[in-house]
Amino acid sequence: MFAQRNTWRVLSIAAAALALTTAPGPGQQPPQPPPAAPVPTILLQYKAVTAERLKRPEDSDWLMIRRTYDGWGYSPLSRITTGNVARLQPAWVFSTGALNGHEAPAIVNNGVMFVSTPGNQVIALDAKTGSLLWRYRRPLPEDAVVLHPTTRGVAVYGDKVFLAANECVLVALDARTGMEVWTTKVEDNSQGYYMTLAPLVADGKVIVGASGGEFGVRGFVAAYDPETGAPIWKTYTVPAPGEPGSETWPRGEQWKTGGAPVWVTGNYDPETNLMYWGTGNGGPWMGDQRPGDNLYTASTVAIDAATGQIKGHHQYQPNESWDWDEVSPPILVDFRRNGRTIKGLIDVARDGYLWFLERTEGPIKFIEGVPYVAQNVFTGLDPKTGRPDIDPTRKPGTARPASFCPSHWGGKNWPPIAFSPRTRMIYIPANENLCAAIVGRQIEYMPGAPFTGATTTISLAPGADHIGEVQAWNVDTGRRVWTHKYAKSQTWGPMLATAGGLVFTGGTNDRKFRAFHAETGKVLWEFPTNSGITGQPSSFMVDGTQYVAVQSGWGIDSRAMQARLNTLMPGDYPEVPEGGAIWVFAVR
């Protein structure tokens, strides 16, 4: 210390003076951090998020990742229209300072915006001006297991902001200051549990699940007290012996490492207090090493928010062997079919099928399943249960390679669809013409070590002329209405629909954010951002102006697919620039 100060004195008298006035000497107090900046007025007036507001949000707000519990990704704002969207311009842009995939939406509560980014960061901004209000960064251990370094958003409730930190710690922040109120360890990161999803606040609880399908985790959904972080219930997505569904794990203790991770936030029906969560692949990846249907892998599970009890489920592919995680939850839409209105669930699955289901007080009923991309694995569906018949030559196994379409990335991966009640259409970011081959090898479980036992390669379907698509399907007819094909890009773009008759999405390798005509699919506006967009767009209003917000920040699987495509089509899919930014657009 003194030596250092002496060096400074030699180097610069001014620096020495500074050091002498700030460095502690014998009998002196250590330097104090500067006093906290005063809380900005906009935060002093922060509007608490009530359960009622989460159920019926003001039109101007975007209080949860898909805005409403039904998962529609729909804004009732209509000031940005098909007629004026051509004049959409950036209102402000804010650099996040982070790399990797930026997948979180801008959450907006009464003019205050919260955005999470890779690297356990939450940024609070004035939504109108982009001025920084506070910034929270939680250091990650150097050797943290985070195989998909992202975050899919924060949750807000009361005067708190909730972040599912990557190392599997749930964090509650004070919305006014960004200071930690409490933290709770959810699971052991060294065993392969990590979190990338946004927490769900439902029934007065804050609820999360964990990733780790690469490590033989035992998936779960768990609820915590928003005030204290105390655990309330934890429900495993792989049943223990004696529990319902345990008969689908006939071999020994395989249920302990059975997978079914939960890495995308579920949707919720306040009427029945049931949440609908999606689950991922089994552990290990090859089904022939874990005989049985393996509930509840590759399923939608209906969980009672009050107790955590599983009240119903639908498994999309029993004995999952294609790495088709069905984590993306179904949206809740009542649709018409055969002369009746069905309280429905609609799931656009990674397996390439569009599933129409019925929700009840508990069990999930099968209504209809149709492929939305080329799918060569299912030879048919049981008309009553929807259970697929599998072509055995298309099912990979241990030392038994098989090729199949769509690829392991799926017809649609995690990026959420949107639904517009005005057009009665869902909007799907799909990848067509991509296929994969997997070959498995025998693998033994070791805690914290990979437990996949599978090698995957991808290929193009014969005659492929494009990959990425936006598809629009009418939910009452079950028919496709329009398709937009991207000439030279895949898509990883979450969807936003608005009452202005528009659909917004990014997801392409040309860095563009686009607005489509919701009825026709015509591209009405596009803008090239700093990086590729894998963020969930949202829309909000402040002082009478409607805004559309999205994070641009390419990485993780979008980067991986781009690299694989560049190998298949050399030079056509060059590296996309990375580094995150928050963009906010308005009509000028």
Partner 1 sequence: MHHAWITVATAADRADRPAVGRRTALKTAIALGVGMSLPRSTALGQDDEQAALRPKAGDWLVKVGDAGLTPLTPEDIPVAAQQTMAWAMDPRTGIVRSGSRLNRVVLLRFDPDTLAASTRARAAGGVVAYTAICTHNGCEITDWLGDEQTLSCPCHSTRFDAKNGARVLDGPAPRPLPALPLVLAEGKLVVSRSFTARVGFELA
- Position 329, amino acid: P
The residue among 143 and 543 lying less far from partner 1, judged by its C-beta, is 143
DSSP string, 28-92: PPPPPPPPPPPPPHHHHTPPPB-HHHHHS--TT-B-STTSSTT---EE---SS-TTTGGGEEEEE
The residue among 71 and 101 lying less far from partner 1, judged by its C-beta, is 101
Task: Return the C-alpha torsion angle 455, 460, 462, 465, nearest 10.
Answer: 170
Query: Which entry of 61, 70, 304, 323 is annotated as an active-site residue?
Result: 323
Among 464, 457, 469, smallest CA distance to 433 is for: 464
* Greatest alpha-carbon span in the chain: 89
Determine the length of the chain. Answer: 588
- For residue 142, list its beta bridge partners: none
Structure tokens given for 489: 């890009």
The residue among 137 and 365 lying less far from partner 1, judged by its C-beta, is 137
Nearest distance from residue 405's CB to partner 1, in Å? 17
- Position 5, amino acid: R
The residue among 117 and 237 lying less far from partner 1, judged by its C-beta, is 117
Orientation angle between helical segments 13-22 and 2-11, nearest 10 degrees: 150
- For residue 380, list its beta bridge partners: 389
- Position 444, amino acid: E
Structure tokens given for 251: 């071999």
- For residue 221, list its beta bridge partners: 209, 235
Residues that bind partner 1 (CB under 8 A): 97-100, 117-121, 140-149, 166-167, 185, 188-191, 214, 444-450, 452, 454-458, 556-557, 559-560, 562-564, 566-567
Q: What are the φ/ψ torsions at residue 3 (nearest 5 degrees)?
A: -60, -45
Among 23, 18, 16, smallest CA distance to 1 is for: 23
The residue among 121 and 471 lying less far from partner 1, judged by its C-beta, is 121
The residue among 81 and 566 lying less far from partner 1, judged by its C-beta, is 566
Q: What are the φ/ψ torsions at residue 509 (nearest 5 degrees)?
A: -80, 0
The residue among 333 and 439 lying less far from partner 1, judged by its C-beta, is 439
The residue among 165 and 541 lying less far from partner 1, judged by its C-beta, is 165
Nearest distance from residue 554's CB to partner 1, in Å? 10
Nearest distance from residue 296's CB to partner 1, in Å? 23
Nearest distance from residue 290's CB to partner 1, in Å? 16
Nearest distance from residue 281's CB to partner 1, in Å? 12
The whole-angstrom separation of Cα 223 and Cα 42 is: 31
320, 245 Cβ separation under 8 angstroms: no
The residue among 185 and 365 lying less far from partner 1, judged by its C-beta, is 185
The residue among 121 and 235 lying less far from partner 1, judged by its C-beta, is 121
Q: CB neighbours of 509 closer than 8 A, spacing ≥ 6? A: 488, 489, 490, 532, 554, 558, 562, 573, 576
Pairing mode of beta strands 425-431, 468-474? antiparallel
The whole-angstrom separation of Cα 467 and Cα 487 is: 8
Among 199, 130, 119, smallest CA distance to 166 is for: 119
DSSP string, 275-289: EEEEB--BSSS-GGG
Structure tokens given for 523: 């591209």
- Side-chain half-sphere CA neighbours of 392 within 13 A: 1
Nearest distance from residue 404's CB to partner 1, in Å? 16
Q: Is the omega angle on the peptide bond into residue 406 within 30 degrees of 0, that is, cis?
A: yes
Nearest distance from residue 168's CB to partner 1, in Å? 9
Nearest distance from residue 559's CB to partner 1, in Å? 4
Nearest distance from residue 320's CB to partner 1, in Å? 16
Nearest distance from residue 564's CB to partner 1, in Å? 6
Which helix (DSSP H) or strand (DSSP E) does residue 557 occupy?
helix 557-568
| Residue 543 designated active-site | no
- Enumerate the active-site residues: 323
